[in-house]
Chain A
Amino acid sequence: MQVLDRLETPVSVTTDQADGAVSLHLAGRFSLGDLTALHGALMQAATAGPFLVDLSGVTRLDTAAAWAIAEADAKATAAGHSMQITGASADSAALIQTVRDALPNPDTPPAKPMTLALWLDGYGRSVMGAVSFLMQLLGFLGLFLSRLARALRHPSEFRLTALVHHCHEVGLKAVPIVALMAFLIGIVLAFQGSTQLKQFGAEVFVVDLIAVSILRELGILLTAIIVAGRTASAFTAAIGSMKMREEIDAMRTLGIDPAAALIVPRVLALLLMLPILGMIANAAGLFGGALMSWVELGISPAMFQSRLIEGTDVSHLMVGMIKAPFFAIIIGVVGCHAGMQVGNNAESLGQKTSAAVVTAIFSVIVIDALFSIFFAQVGI
């Protein structure tokens, strides 16, 4: 059958030199795999002198072979020789002509040398990019606050259903993972603390260690990190896919303000839910710590409780919880902002989602560090 020939007919390129004229005889069904050999033979002939290409044995010429012939012709002409084609079928000749017409003529722009000025230029641009990103985030925060203020002035415009829905998504659904995480952290702290404090016979101080570190720092910080991973990505993906499908543009044309409809309920839900999640994390962490102290050090729950109440001031809890709204706002604003930056291709959705998570977690840690410095300075 004719269709199988292509795989079976071997391709041959033979060169001979009869009475001083070089001629190349091509035969067989050409395919892309034969290009390297054919191109090499033709280029060699083209640099040597005038030559003749005999296509009478060719059963099928593909574009690759036609391209090699057209290239060889161009090269021979440039070197001042001539190339002749004989025995080409009508199809082959037409194909060579088509390829010749389509030969890309490169008009590559000259490569710019890497100078110090260009290097500085690149740096300047990335610094300005970072600054403008921060300005955009700030602008976004302002947008959220102004829309929130308007919602307070016109409560009828406020989307309560959306708020409840997002509270359910970012709050209630995050409870199991946050509680489990904090419980395990409590266990780890108790275990690590007890092995160290045992050396000094100060086992009972493990209660202070657990209470202070969880209430002040770890409970809310780790909750915020988990929420940043979970919720910032969800906000970016949800708003970004709406942006991609032009739903946000549609909202604008229908007179719905995307900031009021999408951003306010989401950030507000986070603002309400993150302190609650933080409290749950604190409770679960203390519970885990108490459990491990009991098992490992024999500190009974009652003793843990009394030690906790007399040894740990409530200000530690305040120091921890005051950070929650700041974390909530930065996570929500970063997530929603990244969603609004998504372009109209799926690739940017993925990029922005992972960028949102990284930025949110990073910002949470930066804010936490700033608070630590602040509290150390004011002496709480």
Chain B
Amino acid sequence: MTVATDPTPVIRLRGIRNQFGSHVVHDGLDLDVYRGEILGVVGGSGTGKSVLLRSIAGLQRPVAGEIEVLGTDVRAASEAERIALERRWGVMFQDGALFSSLNVRENVEVPMRAVEGLDPALRRAMADLKISMSGLPYLAGDKYPSELSGGMRKRAGLARALALDPEIVFLDEPTAGLDPIGAADFDTLIRQLSDTMGLTVFLVTHDLDTLHAICDRIAVLAEKKVLVTGTMDEMLRVDHPWVHDYFHGPRARAALTAKDAQKGS
């Protein structure tokens, strides 16, 4: 596993407070994400994992707190700064969130259209490359989202998120709803892309196998804040009851055994 060497975090959250009406989701949440790492965010249902992702990606405005991404204060950024910043990150939504009226290639081309001076033929070729790098067959580019399976839609969503060679990608439950083989392939793909393209990955997941297989660090959301962050080994030693149950439950043990078996072979 790669160890983060850059000491300045690419994502820095301080004192985030999110609330919907009187329901407080986050209160005083702090989190740092370092360059090149894969951070897995876990938490029980309703702890605001997706809300956190949406806050960082600028889709949800927190009531209070500081969000700094790649040195830019997201909350105070001007329109131009925001657009520049948005080109440096990519978001993959849970079901791909592909535009249903465009085929896969056109979907991947959408963010590239904003790049000035890019020849349309080259844009097509780049879209095909991204589709192929995401593990989709070449001909998938001509298909419409409704013709794809759930796993393929996720891959196409990833291809679109990677269209501009972002520095950070946000993945919302990338392996949810995939069969175990598809999920494992997707994990490998994320790890491989992260390694070769130097991606920082912010990953919201429930999948213990994903956490074991690819995450450098894990952040646990509970009690309206990031309760604890650290590597898998550190998580196993935390004695907070929820964290303990999460990482020592029967499914967690199964995932751990699977990983040990993989290492041994």
Chain B binds chain A: yes
Within residues 137 to 173 of chain B, which ones have a CB less than 8 A from any CB in chain A? 138-139, 145-146, 162, 164-165, 167
B196 interface residue, CB < 8 Å from A?
Answer: yes
Query: What is the bound-complex CA distance between A32 and B123, given in angstroms?
Result: 9
The answer to whether B10 and A347 touch across the interface, beta carbons within 8 angstroms, is no
Query: What is the bound-complex CA distance between A102 and B70, given in angstroms?
Result: 29
A99 interface residue, CB < 8 Å from B?
Answer: yes
B255 interface residue, CB < 8 Å from A?
Answer: no
The answer to whether A102 and B165 touch across the interface, beta carbons within 8 angstroms, is no
User: A99: which of B118, B133, B195 is its contact (CB, 8 Å)?
Assistant: B133
User: B129: which of A91, A103, A347 is its contact (CB, 8 Å)?
Assistant: A103
Interface stretch, picked from B109-117, B175-183, B241-249, is B109-117
Size range of the interface on B? Answer: 35 or more
Complex A-B: 12 CB contacts under 8 Å: A33-B118, A35-B118, A35-B122, A36-B117, A36-B122, A63-B197, A64-B126, A67-B125, A94-B196, A95-B197, A345-B146, A348-B146
- Chain A, residues 9-51, CB within 8 Å of chain B (1/0): the string is 0000000000000000000000111011101000000000000
Given contacts A31-B165, A32-B112, A36-B118, 15 further A-B contacts (CB under 8 A): A3-B167, A33-B115, A33-B118, A35-B122, A35-B126, A39-B119, A63-B130, A63-B197, A67-B126, A91-B198, A98-B133, A99-B129, A103-B132, A106-B138, A107-B138
Query: What is the bound-complex CA distance between A2 and B100, given in angstroms?
Result: 38
A33-B115, A33-B117, A95-B197 known; A67-B100 Cβ under 8 A: no
Within residues 65 to 116 of chain B, which ones have a CB less than 8 A from any CB in chain A? 70-71, 84, 88, 100-101, 112, 115-116
Within residues 56 to 107 of chain A, which ones have a CB less than 8 A from any CB in chain B? 62-64, 67, 71, 91, 94-95, 98-99, 102-107
Query: What is the bound-complex CA distance between A35 and B126, given in angstroms?
Result: 10
Using a CB–CB cutoff of 8 Å, the interface residues on chain B facing chain A are: 6, 8, 10, 70-71, 84, 88, 100-101, 112, 115-119, 122, 125-126, 128-133, 138-139, 145-146, 162, 164-165, 167, 192, 195-198
Q: How far is the CB of A99 from chain B (nearest CB, A)?
A: 7
A378 interface residue, CB < 8 Å from B?
Answer: no
The answer to whether B122 and A105 touch across the interface, beta carbons within 8 angstroms, is no
- Chain A neighbourhood of B128, CB < 8 A: 104
- Chain B neighbourhood of A106, CB < 8 A: 138
The answer to whether A347 and B146 touch across the interface, beta carbons within 8 angstroms, is yes
The answer to whether B129 and A104 touch across the interface, beta carbons within 8 angstroms, is yes
- Chain B neighbourhood of A36, CB < 8 A: 117-119, 122
The answer to whether B101 and A347 touch across the interface, beta carbons within 8 angstroms, is yes
A254 interface residue, CB < 8 Å from B?
Answer: no
A4 interface residue, CB < 8 Å from B?
Answer: yes
Number of contacts between A and B (CB, 8 Å)? 83
- Chain B neighbourhood of A104, CB < 8 A: 128-129, 131-132, 138
Q: How far is the CB of B195 from chain A (nearest CB, A)?
A: 8
A94-B196, A346-B100 known; A62-B165 Cβ under 8 A: yes
Per the CB 8 Å criterion, the residue count for chain A at the interface is 35
- Chain B neighbourhood of A99, CB < 8 A: 129, 133
Name which residue of chain B comes closest to A37, CB basis. Answer: B117
Max chain B C-beta neighbours (<10 A), residue from A91, A99, A102, A348: A102
Query: What is the bound-complex CA distance between A71 and B129, given in angstroms?
Result: 11
Name which residue of chain A comes closest to B116, CB basis. Answer: A33
Query: What is the bound-complex CA distance between A28 and B162, given in angstroms?
Result: 21
- The 9 A-B pairs with the shortest beta carbon distances in the complex, nearest first, are A62-B165, A104-B132, A102-B133, A345-B146, A98-B196, A104-B138, A102-B132, A347-B100, A104-B128
The answer to whether A3 and B100 touch across the interface, beta carbons within 8 angstroms, is no
A3-B71, A32-B115 known; A39-B122 Cβ under 8 A: yes
A325 interface residue, CB < 8 Å from B?
Answer: no
- Chain B neighbourhood of A345, CB < 8 A: 100, 145-146
Query: What is the bound-complex CA distance between A95 and B132, given in angstroms?
Result: 14
- Chain B neighbourhood of A71, CB < 8 A: 125
Query: What is the bound-complex CA distance between A179 and B259, given in angstroms?
Result: 72
Q: How far is the CB of B202 from chain A (nearest CB, A)?
A: 16
Name which residue of chain A comes closest to B129, CB basis. Answer: A67
Name which residue of chain B comes closest to A4, CB basis. Answer: B71
Query: What is the bound-complex CA distance between A99 and B134, given in angstroms?
Result: 11
- Chain A neighbourhood of B133, CB < 8 A: 63, 98-99, 102
A1 interface residue, CB < 8 Å from B?
Answer: yes
The answer to whether A3 and B10 touch across the interface, beta carbons within 8 angstroms, is yes
Q: How far is the CB of A124 from chain B (nearest CB, A)?
A: 25
